[in-house]
Structure 1
Amino acid sequence: MAVSPLQATHRSVVLQEARYCDGCGCRLSRYNQESRCSGCARRLPHAPYVPPHVWQSGELQAALFDRDFGRVCLLVRQLAALRQDDVAALTGLSQAFLSMLESDVRRLTNIDKIIQLLDGLGVPSELTGPMLRVSVCVSTS
């Protein structure tokens, strides 16, 4: 199949104009006039964190009391303006798992994962009780 000169010219122009994101290196859309992809443009300039005022929410405290960790994640994200990726970075749990947890497709039953979630989010121990927190024992011997 022969390629017309117009198609060849168009193809070389497209290849010459390829631009890549300054943040992650992915190829940018020809419609994107920015130097970063939309994912990198949305990222917070600082590391994600959960502000202290989030834990004052009565609805969040009730979800913690009920051990409804999917609801906890959703409320924390809404109150702290975080994305699932941000919560994943904080907790070490995958974004896909967090999505299933929030939509009640999966339940969090492994005590190690529960502790990982609570510690990653920085839940105050007075809201969870000593059973769900890692305690550091100091030996006096």
Structure 2
Amino acid sequence: MSVMTLRTAEALAVPGGVRRCERCGCRLSRYNSARHCSACSRREWGESARLFSVPQHVWESEEVQRFLMERDFGTLCLLIRRLGSLRQEDMARLTGLSQPFLSMLEAGVRKLTNIDKIVRLLDGLEVPLQLTGPMLRASGETPPRCAGPDGLLVRGESSQSNRAK
């Protein structure tokens, strides 16, 4: 056993030999040097994402609007970060995209072409609907296209029954 491993093992030693998560009380893995289990750590990470947001003045910038319309997401992210005083890690927490991916996107090494990732980026940044249009938003935000006069989807009607009306 190396000196480093021995020191880590000594630091984690607990009377009774079982360490527990300080939040939920579940048993911690012997490889987990943190004081929380991975589930509680993920929950904490998700809660901290709510502390960050893109300030409203960022969306009023003509440059931001131009890069959004051009779908230049790398330059857009860089500009949003600069105007909003956000770090790449903050952007990653907001959008669910990884920090290394955002770094490559801003550097122009990667392109954002997957529609699901585009929607995740725009939703996470809470881009105003008037700047994106309904096509680039999560499905729950737009009304159904085939809605009847009462707003409900028309289902199960054949073309013959539609002609008879």
Residue 140 of structure 1: how far off its partner (Å): 2.8
**Aligned counterparts of 1:128 and 1:49: Cα–Cα separation in 2:** 18
Query: TM-score by structure 2 length?
Result: 0.56
- Give the structure 1 partner of residue 138 of structure 2: 134
User: Which of 57, 61, 65 is 1:61 aligned to?
Assistant: 65
> Equivalent residues in 2 for 1:1-141 (5 A)?
47-136=51-140, 137=143, 140=152
- Give the structure 2 partner of residue 39 of structure 1: none
**Aligned counterparts of 2:112 and 2:97: Cα–Cα separation in 1:** 11
Residue 130 of structure 1: how far off its partner (Å): 1.4
Residue 61 of structure 1: how far off its partner (Å): 0.4
Larger radius of gyration: 2
- 3-state secondary structure, aligned to 1:109: coil
Q: Which moved more, 1:130-139 or 1:63-72?
A: 130-139
Deviation per residue, 1:54-101 (Å, 9 max, x gap): 100001100001000001100110000000000000000000000000
**Aligned counterparts of 1:55 and 1:117: Cα–Cα separation in 2:** 14
**Aligned counterparts of 2:137 and 2:71: Cα–Cα separation in 1:** 14
Letter in 2 for 1:110: N
Letter in 2 for 1:100: M
**Aligned counterparts of 2:152 and 2:68: Cα–Cα separation in 1:** 34
Report the identity percentage.
59
Q: How many residues align?
A: 102
**Aligned counterparts of 2:108 and 2:65: Cα–Cα separation in 1:** 19
Letter in 2 for 1:77: R
Query: TM-score by structure 1 length?
Result: 0.65
- Runs of 4+ with >4 A deviation: none
Q: Cα RMSD between the aligned structures?
A: 2.3
**Aligned counterparts of 1:140 and 1:126: Cα–Cα separation in 2:** 25
Deviation per residue, 1:24-61 (Å, 9 max, x gap): x99xxxxxxxxxxxxxxxxx9x8111111110000110
Letter in 2 for 1:115: V
- Give the structure 1 partner of residue 23 of structure 2: none
